[in-house]
């Protein structure tokens, strides 16, 4: 049965089922869904007797603290150990370049499989399962494993649950559908330690991050007409608080929590002086705005890169006001 109406679904089930070795990669700066999907898929394919190498573009590829306890961490290899793979599975990558330095190896392989849920995914694989209504890539992996007849266990279910709980904002965002919770319930039935996961993933910030969050909240600016709230973080902030940029994903959630705004933006200064901008919306679409700046993402959660804060805020506020 082809799920989600995804044309290549059955072929992906076949190809993964027949492969002896699979190289699996997620996107650069992997989040909970990228890592949960990656390790869950790796554990499951190993359970079928296949060799797997799981990785992402980073030097070194090392699990961030909130996820370092994830089962399957032992299948992580460094990106430079990946050559031309027979079967290459790209997970949670909205475009081929999200693989970073691994894109060439991915395309050099015999079969590149692209499994993802980002709108705007350009079907960069030889086989593509792109389902924008899926809560997470982990959800798609779970359904594929079901069709491949891989029995779940606590470890696989834990990885996939982490992917779902993080990408749905703890089952709060609009991508949480009845089927999402049904699948999550099924995963929990494999003794997934949900309260422990909540602690490890959502209550694991360093003390420095607490202080950095304070700075960012203190700086927040409200653009009333556009119902936009924004703030920013500099490299100096990171140095002063001892925080690594990879720990700063939660800053946008702190900024977005005011009822005074529908859209929240946070500007994070990159080593090259430019700003990585994250947008979160409670209603107005921000995906198109991000794409117009060469970025990408979902309707309610998107991002792009900008040169400076003031002019970008002005133009984002204008786009929001005009409803474009
Ligand atoms: Mn995802």
Ligand 1 geometric centre to CA of 240 (Å): 31
Mean pLDDT is lowest, of 6-15, 91-100, 106-115, 241-250, for: 241-250
Å from CA of 149 to ligand 1 middle: 23
Burial class (CB in 10 A: 0-12, 13-18, 19+), 274: middle
Q: Please state the φ and ψ torsions of residue 141, each to the nearest 5 degrees.
A: -60, -45
Ligand 1: centre distance to CA 170 (Å): 13
Average pLDDT on 114-121 reads 94
Q: Domains in the chain and their CATH numbers?
A: 3-202 (3.90.1640.10), 207-322 (3.10.310.30)
In the predicted model, is pLDDT for residue 18 greater than 70? yes
CA 225 – ligand 1 centroid, Å? 32
On average, the pLDDT of the chain sits at: 95
Percent of the chain with pLDDT over 70: 99
Across the range 187-194, mean pLDDT stands at 98
Dist. CA 137 → ligand 1 center (Å):
5
Q: What is the pLDDT of residue 324?
A: 56
| pLDDT of 1 higher than 80 | no
The mean pLDDT value for 32-43 works out to: 98
pLDDT at 306: 98
Say how many Å lie between the first and final Cα of the chain, rounded: 39
Q: Which is more confidently placed, 57 or 204?
A: 57
Instruction: Kindly tell me if the per-residue pLDDT of 84 is higher than 80.
Output: no
The whole model's pTM is what?
0.86
- By the 10 Å C-beta count (0-12 exposed, 13-18 middle, 19+ buried), 147 is classed as middle
Q: How far is the CA of 159 from the centre of ligand 1 (A)?
A: 13
Question: What distance in angstroms lies between residue 224's CA and the mean position of ligand 1's atoms?
Answer: 31
Give yes or no for residue 99 having a pLDDT over 80: yes
Q: Which residues contact 68 (CB under 8 A, 6 or more apart)?
A: 62
Question: If you measure from the C-alpha of residue 91 to the centroid of ligand 1, how many angstroms do you get, rounded to a whole number?
Answer: 8
Q: Ligand 1 centre from 167 Cα, in Å?
A: 6
Ligand 1 centroid to residue 169 C-alpha, Å: 11
Q: Please report which confidence band the pLDDT of residue 74 belongs to, taking 50, 70 and 90 as the band edges.
A: confident
Residue 180: pLDDT over 70? yes
Q: How far is the CA of 4 from the centre of ligand 1 (A)?
A: 17
pLDDT band at 17 (very low <50, low <70, confident <90, very high): very high
pLDDT of residue 123: 97
Q: Which positions ≥6 away from 80 have C-beta within 8 Å?
A: none
pLDDT > 90? residue 119: no
Q: What is the average pLDDT across 160-180? A: 96
List Cα–Cα distances, 97 to 104, 187, 189, 240, in angstroms. Answer: 9, 31, 37, 32
C-beta separation of 96 from 107 below 8 A: yes
Reported in sequence order, the residue ranges of 141-241 that DSSP labels E, i.e. its strands, are: 221-223, 228-233
What is the biggest distance separating any 2 CA atoms in the chain, rounded to whole angstroms?
Answer: 58
């Amino acid at each position: 049965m082809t799920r989600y109406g995804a044309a290549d679904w059955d072929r992906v089930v076949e190809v993964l089922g027949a492969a002896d070795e699979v190289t699996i990669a997620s996107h650069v700066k992997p989040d909970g869904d990228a890592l949960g999907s990656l390790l869950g898929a790796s554990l499951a394919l190993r359970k079928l007797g296949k060799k797997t190498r799981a990785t992402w573009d980073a030097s070194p590829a090392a699990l961030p603290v909130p996820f370092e306890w994830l089962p399957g961490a032992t299948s992580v290899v460094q990106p430079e150990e990946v050559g031309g793979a027979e079967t290459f599975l790209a997970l949670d990558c909205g475009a081929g370049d999200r693989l970073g330095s691994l894109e060439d190896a991915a395309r050099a392989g015999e079969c590149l499989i692209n499994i993802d849920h980002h709108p705007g995914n350009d079907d960069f694989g030889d086989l593509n399962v792109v389902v924008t209504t899926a809560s997470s890539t982990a959800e798609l992996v779970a359904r594929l494993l079901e069709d491949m007849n891989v029995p779940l266990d606590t470890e696989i279910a834990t990885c996939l649950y982490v992917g779902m709980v993080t990408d749905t904002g703890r089952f709060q965002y609009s991508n949480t559908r009845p089927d999402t919770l049904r699948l999550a319930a099924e995963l929990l039935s494999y003794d997934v330690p949900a309260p422990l996961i909540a602690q490890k993933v959502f209550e694991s910030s360093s003390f420095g991050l607490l202080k950095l969050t304070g700075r960012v909240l203190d700086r927040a600016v409200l653009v009333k007409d556009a119902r936009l709230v924004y703030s920013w973080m500099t490299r100096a902030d990171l140095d002063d608080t001892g925080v690594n940029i990879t720990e700063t994903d939660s800053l946008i959630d702190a900024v977005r929590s005011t009822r005074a705004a529908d859209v929240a933006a946070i500007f994070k200064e990159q080593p090259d002086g430019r700003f990585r901008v994250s947008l979160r919306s409670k209603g107005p679409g921000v995906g198109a705005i991000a794409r117009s700046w060469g970025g990408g993402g979902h309707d309610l959660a998107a991002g792009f890169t900008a040169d400076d804060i003031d002019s970008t805020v002005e133009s984002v506020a204008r786009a929001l006001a005009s409803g474009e």
